[in-house]
């Protein structure tokens, strides 16, 4: 990434803009400067806007409400988070399972999809999301729950979760403890999984050459865009740092969403 050319370009040829949320649109409760104006400008130009996030601290409904509360008018159908993706995956591949959920946000997404969420074993599936109250007691209970008939699903593998107090351990670190203790590898349903790409592509309904995926994480956002077959744009407002030499490369690099011109 050190030699990546940095420039601002005209993005008017794109019909659909897909935005990550944390580190791209906002930092916890605060929009990054210029975000609201950029989104408004895109919508006035008739561009389709989607928000695709691995945030499971909030449910899909709460993320939609948060966007609207911050002045970005958004329909729930335009928000795809990994908790929702997990719910749709379970609905599509399992029949009336009992699911133990790690994290309030992902539990809410599961319940809104009318999936039975249990607090104690037995469970057919354990779903891992962001949980700021995770404890050794919860880890021990999950260990007792998982057996050869139990499936482990994770909404994401992100190791960092940005908050107003700074970075906190992400769902991926919780997942690593669970995988290590149970010797079970989780199925990932959030970015950059094939299932998340399937949901996003279904929501786009247009030529992927006319789609731009904007995010701050190379192995999540940019990788998802590459798998979708669309152009990708890295913003420098989130977790990416100068000198990151990851294999996946964005098509464009800009300082922030405010630099998107149409």
Domains along the chain with CATH numbers: 16-54+192-259 (3.40.50.1000), 95-188 (3.40.50.1000)
pLDDT at 242: 62
pLDDT digits (tens, 9 = 90+) for 209-218: 999 999 999 9
Residues in a beta bridge with 234: 215, 253
Given this model, what pLDDT does residue 252 score? 95
pLDDT for the residue 5: 42
Please report, rounded to a whole number, the percentage of residues in the chain having pLDDT higher than 90: 82
Instruction: Please work out, in degrees rounded to the nearest 5, the angle formed at the alpha carbon of residue 86 by the alpha carbons of 229 and 197.
Output: 5
pLDDT digits (tens, 9 = 90+) for 71-94: 999 999 999 999 999 999 999 999
Non-local (6+) Cβ contacts of 36 within 8 A are 70, 71, 72
Predicted local distance difference test score (pLDDT) of residue 245: 59
User: For the chain, what is the mean pLDDT?
Assistant: 92
Which residue, among 182, 216, 212, has the nearest Cα to 54 in the 3D structure?
216
- pLDDT value at position 135? 94
pLDDT at 4 over 60: no
Q: How far is CA 140 from the centre of its chain?
A: 27
Backbone conformation region of residue 71, classed left if phi is above 0, alpha if psi is from -120 to 50, else beta: left
Q: Is this model's pTM higher than 0.75 or not?
A: yes
pLDDT grade for 160, boundaries at 50, 70 and 90: confident
DSSP character string of 25-40: TEETTEEPTTHHHHHH
Q: Is the pLDDT at 17 greater than 80, yes or no? A: yes
Distance of alpha carbon 38 from its chain centroid, rounded? 21
Q: Tell me the pLDDT band of 1, cut-offs 50, 70 and 90.
A: very low
Is the pLDDT at 6 greater than 50? The verdict is no
| Region class of 105: left (phi > 0), else alpha (psi between -120 and 50), else beta | alpha
What pLDDT digit, counting tens, does each position of 204-255 carry?
Answer: 988 999 999 999 999 999 999 999 999 999 999 988 766 565 688 999 999 9
- pLDDT of 7 above 70: no
């Amino acid at each position: 990434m050190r030699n990546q050319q940095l420039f601002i370009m005209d993005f008017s040829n794109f019909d659909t803009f897909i935005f990550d949320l944390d580190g791209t649109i906002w930092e916890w409760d605060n929009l990054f400067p210029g975000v609201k104006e950029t989104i408004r400008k895109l919508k006035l130009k008739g561009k389709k806007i989607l928000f695709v996030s691995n945030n499971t601290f909030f449910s899909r409904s709460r993320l939609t409400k948060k966007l609207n509360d911050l002045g970005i008018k958004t329909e729930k159908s335009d928000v795809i988070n990994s908790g929702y993706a997990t719910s749709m995956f379970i609905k599509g591949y399992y029949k009336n399972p009992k699911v133990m959920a790690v994290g309030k946000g992902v539990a809410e997404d599961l319940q809104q999809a009318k999936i039975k969420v249990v607090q104690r074993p037995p469970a057919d599936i354990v779903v891992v999301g962001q949980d700021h109250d995770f404890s050794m007691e919860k880890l021990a209970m999950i260990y007792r729950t998982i057996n050869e008939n139990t499936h482990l699903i994770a909404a994401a593998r992100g190791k960092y979760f940005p908050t107003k107090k700074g970075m906190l351990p992400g769902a991926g670190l919780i997942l690593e403890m669970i995988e290590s203790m149970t010797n079970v590898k989780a199925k990932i349903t959030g970015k950059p999984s094939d299932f998340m790409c399937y949901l996003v592509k279904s929501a786009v309904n247009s030529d992927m050459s006319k789609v731009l995926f904007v995010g701050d994480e190379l192995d999540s956002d940019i990788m998802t865009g590459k798998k979708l077959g669309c152009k990708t744009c890295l913003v420098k407002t989130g977790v990416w740092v100068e000198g990151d030499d990851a294999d996946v490369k964005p098509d464009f690099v800009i300082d922030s969403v405010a630099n998107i011109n149409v």
